[in-house]
Structure 1
Amino acid sequence: MASHTLYIRNLNEKVSLKKLEFSLREIFNENGFPVKNIQTCHNIQLRGQAFVVFDDSVELDQVMDTLNTEYVLGKPLHIQRAKKESDLLLKGTDKFNEYITKEREERIKRRTGKDNSKKRSHEDDEDVDNDENKPNKKRMKEIVPNRILIITELSDEVTQSDLIELFEKYKGFLTANYVSVRHVGLIEFQNESEAVECYKSLGEIPLVKGKKCSLTFAKK
């Protein structure tokens, strides 16, 4: 980390570099923070950034506490400690631009990596839904919907009346046939779309008589 260098961004890109450097030097000097060198970027794609090298006696934390978010040429300063040695900044614009470009590429790479991580996490969430009662999107693509649902793993206490009570509140419900020996119920709707709406509402693992059961579409 550069011991006496600050990295500043969010600078006004519409003014000349000369005016920008003058304004930065002025605000730092006026607040008692002697400036040794200011390096701004000439590359138009990297405008709005600068490195400021201070006298050894300057406390950088005090500079940041005093002037962070202070307005210069109509924009608030975003100040942080520079990560590289200040010597690099004193060797000329070309190396400075090269350094800034590299820093920018690394930031983009880090940001892209985070975005990809979020994307992978989102895809994982689709494969394993946090709410186990809701239909999994990936699995929904593999299921062939029709107007008859099948509910399995029902407990011994479940009756046909319980199934009717559970499903009759959904639009298009016709009948509920319960096969007690197999602990299976067949639920028929008027059409496929109404059966799908019921399935989406109840989810893959609805509760019947306090027990988790399995709900899907009957095979055609």
Structure 2
Amino acid sequence: MSNTTENAMTIATPVGNSIPPNHTIYVNNLNGKIKKQQLRKSLYNLFVSYGRVVGIIAMKGVKMRGQAFIVFDDIQNSTAALRSLQGIMFYDKPMRLSYAKRDSDAIRHSKDQIAEKTAALAATSQPEPKQRKEKPRIPPPPTQPPPDRTVHEQHIAMMNSEEVNRAANAVAVAEAELQELPLRDRTRRIQSVIAAQTTLIGTAVPMMTEVQSNSTLFVTNLPNETTREALEELFHQYSGYLDVRLVPGREGIAFIDFDNEIGASSAKDALNGFKISATNLISVSFAKK
């Protein structure tokens, strides 16, 4: 037995009420038949409920058998443990607890060794916390030059033309009248509504019938309250999405820019005829270049 161990035992022996409270508790009258590793684990499980245990020293030498030192990170925690566990039955023997005379003698062993052993002991007594999975970061789309403003302005002028507005008004009037007719008279009027709508489509977007595929989509029949954020949420799921361009002063239409024709084509095929509201099926086609 080394002199260090003997000194630690001597210093820890209770001396009346002269020992002031400190971080380290000296425990004796332990069952000497319990294996050292099992004893340390059981002591840790018992004392950790009173606060953070930063070290447990238990030796199997002849002079130190049945004794241990419990080191807390806070004096209040060590005091609470001493008062609560004094005389408690532990492996069929009542424990005797007191403050160690000096922390420095009670924990003379290397701090690194104590931390390593205590961490290993805690790992065998408590489940490991679940690791949070990091969500993959989505890189931003590559920057692209702004779209051709000339084409954009041509679309705006076309949709604001007097001829288009007259055709749109005719369709609205025809549909309103249709709702007022009895069921038996609606068939003939439906034909006139279809004809008016055909005129509107042919006048408003004549370029859409045979337009070559490109990276810009033209969306029509949007609800008046449609926001930029709503369209971004709808189209950003397709590869190569870049931007949404609403037309100032003209509700119900928008342009969607992609950085490649494949992504634009996929979005067009998937969303053409999509029911964006209870009464609106959007029309998605390639914009004229």
Which TM bucket (shorter chain)?
0.3 to 0.5
User: TM-score, normalised to structure 1's length?
Assistant: 0.38
Higher relative contact order at CA 8 Å, sep ≥6: structure 1 or structure 2? 1
Task: Name the structure with the higher strand share.
Answer: 1
Structure index of larger Rg = 2
